[in-house]
Amino acid sequence: MSSQLESAMEGLIAVFHNYSGKEGDKYKLSKKELKELLQNELSDFLETQKDTSAVDSIMHDLDENGDGEVDFTEFVTMVAGLTVICNAFFCEEA
């Protein structure tokens, strides 16, 4: 039986790989794959996923190595940042 944190990590890995590799490198998210992931997985937290220019901006910010794709490390950086923001918001609400 996995712990709650282990399950969360497994889920994070699974979500990334459910979207990566539909086109191009199977270990990276293209802009189209990133947009689909944002729309399907973070629609409650991100309203900007529907705005093409916002997706372009997110892609640019995440793509640290400038290869036009988001690898797992870049993806986890985004999720960690969003988690920190959500934690601060929910702690203020409590």
Angle at 34 between CA 54 and CA 89, to 5 degrees: 60
pLDDT digits (tens, 9 = 90+) for 36-62: 998 899 877 666 545 667 777 888 888
pLDDT digits (tens, 9 = 90+) for 63-91: 888 888 999 999 999 899 888 888 877 77
Nearest one of 65, 72, 61 to 29, comparing CA atoms: 72
In CATH, 4-93 is 1.10.238.10: yes
Q: Where are the domains positioned within the chain?
A: 4-93
14 and 8 Cβ atoms separated by less than 8 Å: no
16 and 29 Cβ atoms separated by less than 8 Å: yes
